[in-house]
């Protein structure tokens, strides 16, 4: 299996709407490792590492988010996989 890693910055109403926890559950269900954290500028940053299809599906979820989120824009960055395990919320 080829691993990929993507860093995603999600803009909009994404803090205080369970974005990080929902993303963690979605990631674990797909076998994706990484993390999600609130940033001081009001965005949420997600690092996702795993199989291409699983990471792409998680990034697709991030473009929509949980029901109370209002995603305005998603920035995507390709990075070198580090062999992460688990999914952390920061």
Confidence of residue 49 (pLDDT cuts 50, 70, 90): very high
Q: What is the spatial distance between Cα 87 and Cα 35, in angstroms, rounded to a whole number? A: 5
Q: What is the spatial distance between Cα 3 and Cα 80, in angstroms, rounded to a whole number? A: 9
Q: Which residues are marked as active site?
A: 20, 38
Q: What is the spatial distance between Cα 54 and Cα 35, in angstroms, rounded to a whole number? A: 15
Structure tokens at 20: 């990080």
Q: What is the pLDDT of residue 1?
A: 73
State pTM to two decimals.
0.94
Q: What is the spatial distance between Cα 79 and Cα 3, in angstroms, rounded to a whole number? A: 11
Q: What is the spatial distance between Cα 81 and Cα 8, in angstroms, rounded to a whole number? A: 14
pLDDT single digits (tens) 61-85: 999 999 999 999 999 999 999 999 9
CATH of 3-82, one of 3.40.1160.10, 3.30.70.100, 3.90.226.10, 2.40.50.140: 3.30.70.100
């Amino acid at each position: 299996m080829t691993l990929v890693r993507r860093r995603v910055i999600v803009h909009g109403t994404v803090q205080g709407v369970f974005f990080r926890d929902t993303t963690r559950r979605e990631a674990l269900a797909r076998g994706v490792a990484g993390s999600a954290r609130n940033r001081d500028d009001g965005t949420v940053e997600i690092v996702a590492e795993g199989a291409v299809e699983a990471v792409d599906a998680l990034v697709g979820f991030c473009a929509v988010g949980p029901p109370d989120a209002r995603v305005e824009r998603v920035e995507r960055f390709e990075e070198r996989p580090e062999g992460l395990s688990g999914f952390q919320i920061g």
